[in-house]
Structure 1
Amino acid sequence: MASSKILTKDCAKLLPTRLAVHVSNPPLVLIFGPLDPSGSSSLPADAVTCSALGCHALCTLTALTVQDTARTEEIQPVAPELIDDQARCLLEDMTVQAIKVGPLYSAESASVLAQIAADYSHVPLVLHLQRLPDSGLNSELEEEDLLLAVFELLLPQTDIVVADHHMLEHWHAQGMFGDIDADRPAEALLQYGAKWVLSTGAPLRAGQGSYLLQGPDRETATWPWHAPANRLLDADGPLCCAITAALAQGRDMPGAVESAINASAAFTARHFQPGMGQRLINRSAA
């Protein structure tokens, strides 16, 4: 009986701490992306990253993939109607503080995302633009239609676009930005309606790269960028998650980007090679 009383007292001491944990809810972020079974990118990797940054991740799948650390063998896009149902079910149940959008695989999916973003325009939206997969992995992929839908429908609803500078230059050279008259591709994204654009690996001066942030009223900011010492899968994934988390926590855009660059550097410094392919970022390390 004495030991039971001691146990009761010990539990009583812990009670206020446990109550405090329940009262302090983490910010909620909604992530759109494919399910990567290797855990190297998108979902569930982004959910692990957001958790490490103090946020709770809700997820909406845009595709299922068959892949390992070396290659992607198949992509099965999720129907746009199901993407819409998944997202709205979550958004109507919980108060989301920020949204991150990863790879999309059809113009119809981009259109659905644009309508959701318009309906929840008060929620910051981070768009991670990435290289499109080989058409052999998804026979239904129409690259030009998808990019046109992203540029014309989704960018006007986007608070910040994160993209590799060299990929944007390639799209620019291919004429993917249509009739937009811009000397630099990041400026084209701003003309389509994105509020801010963060280019990674943008040239700053000879032999030196930068993170280049461009925003309203010609606002710009730069931070040093260094190519990863090792070839990593989804190297910019933690950066996009960190920006999303910072916006969910109430930071303004330049402050969110600066803190995210610092946070992502800590993530990408930790990596490992679990298989025969590329190295993965260790997103779970404290």
Structure 2
Amino acid sequence: MKEYKRVLTIAGSDSGGGAGIQADLKTFSACGCFGTSAITAITAQNTLGVRAIHSVPVEILQAQVLAVIEDIGVDAIKIGMLHSAELIAAVAVVLREADVENIVLDPVMVATSGDPLIEESAVDAMKKLLFPLVKVITPNIPEAEILLGQKIEGEDLAQVAQALAEEFSVSVLAKAGHQQGDLFVDVLYSSVTEKITRFPTTRVDTQNTHGTGCSLSSAIASFLARGEDLETAIASASQYLHGALVAGAEYKIGAGHGPVHHFYRFW
């Protein structure tokens, strides 16, 4: 019998379908994996912004994760929106028991619209409880600023990635999407090899960028599940996301930041 490559997303639900759990599951499928999910929060949002956030009870979140791991199993895990310190602690407990190697953490803190998606107390909990358990974190510039506690203005992202990696003992993919220019370069600093790897990408002229961070981290988890090493998985994920952005730019959906086209390779 054939076996799927299995990827679990632990993240919030996006009613608009462009980010969160919905984007993760689409990405897993598009990248050749079987996706499962544990919902951390329900959000009311669309392309214009986030209207409300309702956290899932801790025991329900833990039950979702355990139900998936104990029966279906996982080859990789992507962690996205964790709204509160309580939820972060609950996820950390389950992950320590699960002993999964391929865990990608997207430290979701601010939506594309600028709306905050995390409580202040949750940032410290994330640093202390989750960072030691994961293979790589994927902060964008605003998230890196929150994690470092300082503004990032003109710094080489390699320095940012290295500073985060050394402070928290975790590999860091610092994302350049908030920088200006036609070419931007995401930078990986590996805490294992102490090596810097750059991933250049040409900018796509589009406002359909909702869920790009979710989709990239989910693609990385997918390619890790398929057996690629971290650097190769990031390169594969970057190529996938760029294609999704290019294809998504041709569509109009909603009045704000629309989604990328996750299934551009198929239709």
Structure 2 unaligned spans of 5+:
152-158
What's the counterpart of residue 198 of structure 1? 173
Letter in 2 for 1:283: H
Aligned match of 1:167 in 143, 147, 164?
143
Cα 1:174–1:199 change in 2 (3 A) is closer
Following superposition, the deviation at residue 166 of structure 1 comes to 4.2
Following superposition, the deviation at residue 99 of structure 1 comes to 0.2
Cα 1:223–1:142 change in 2 (3 A) is closer
**Matching of residue 25 in structure 1 with residue 3 in structure 2:** yes
Could you tell me whether the CA contact under 8 Å between 1:60 and 1:87 is conserved in 2?
Answer: yes
What's the counterpart of residue 36 of structure 2? 58
**Matching of residue 148 in structure 1 with residue 124 in structure 2:** yes
Aligned match of 1:279 in 243, 258, 263?
258
Paired with 1:168 and 1:208, the residues of 2 have a C-alpha distance of: 20
What's the counterpart of residue 43 of structure 1? 21
Aligned match of 1:245 in 215, 222, 228?
222
SS at match of 1:163: coil
SS at match of 2:227: coil
What's the counterpart of residue 219 of structure 1? 195
Cα 1:81–1:236 change in 2 (3 A) is same
Following superposition, the deviation at residue 246 of structure 1 comes to 0.6
Structure 1 unaligned spans of 5+:
1-22, 176-182
> Pairwise CA RMSD of aligned residues?
2.7
What's the counterpart of residue 155 of structure 2? none
Could you tell me whether the CA contact under 8 Å between 1:168 and 1:186 is conserved in 2?
Answer: no
Could you tell me whether the CA contact under 8 Å between 2:40 and 2:83 is conserved in 1?
Answer: yes
Give TM-score scaled by structure 2 length: 0.85
SS at match of 2:175: strand
**What does the per-residue CA deviation read over 1:92-149, in whole Å, with 9 as the maximum and x for residues that have no partner?**
1122100000011111111112122222223310001123469x988xx631x20000
Following superposition, the deviation at residue 51 of structure 1 comes to 0.6
Could you tell me whether the CA contact under 8 Å between 2:38 and 2:64 is conserved in 1?
Answer: yes
Letter in 2 for 1:221: T
Give TM-score scaled by structure 1 length: 0.80
Paired with 1:122 and 1:59, the residues of 2 have a C-alpha distance of: 15
Paired with 1:108 and 1:189, the residues of 2 have a C-alpha distance of: 25
Letter in 2 for 1:280: P
Q: Following superposition of structure 1 onto structure 2, how do residues 91-240 of structure 1 map, counting pairs within 5 Å?
A: 91-132=69-110, 142-143=119-120, 145-169=121-145, 171-174=147-150, 184=160, 186-194=162-170, 196-201=171-176, 209-215=184-190, 216-231=192-207, 232-240=209-217
Could you tell me whether the CA contact under 8 Å between 1:212 and 1:220 is conserved in 2?
Answer: yes
Q: Whose RCO is larger (CA < 8 A, sep 6+)?
A: 2
Paired with 2:230 and 2:103, the residues of 1 have a C-alpha distance of: 11
Paired with 1:75 and 1:203, the residues of 2 have a C-alpha distance of: 25
Letter in 2 for 1:279: G
Paired with 2:174 and 2:116, the residues of 1 have a C-alpha distance of: 27
Paired with 2:70 and 2:88, the residues of 1 have a C-alpha distance of: 20
Cα 1:61–1:186 change in 2 (3 A) is farther
Could you tell me whether the CA contact under 8 Å between 2:48 and 2:257 is conserved in 1?
Answer: yes
Cα 1:266–1:142 change in 2 (3 A) is closer
Paired with 1:234 and 1:124, the residues of 2 have a C-alpha distance of: 21
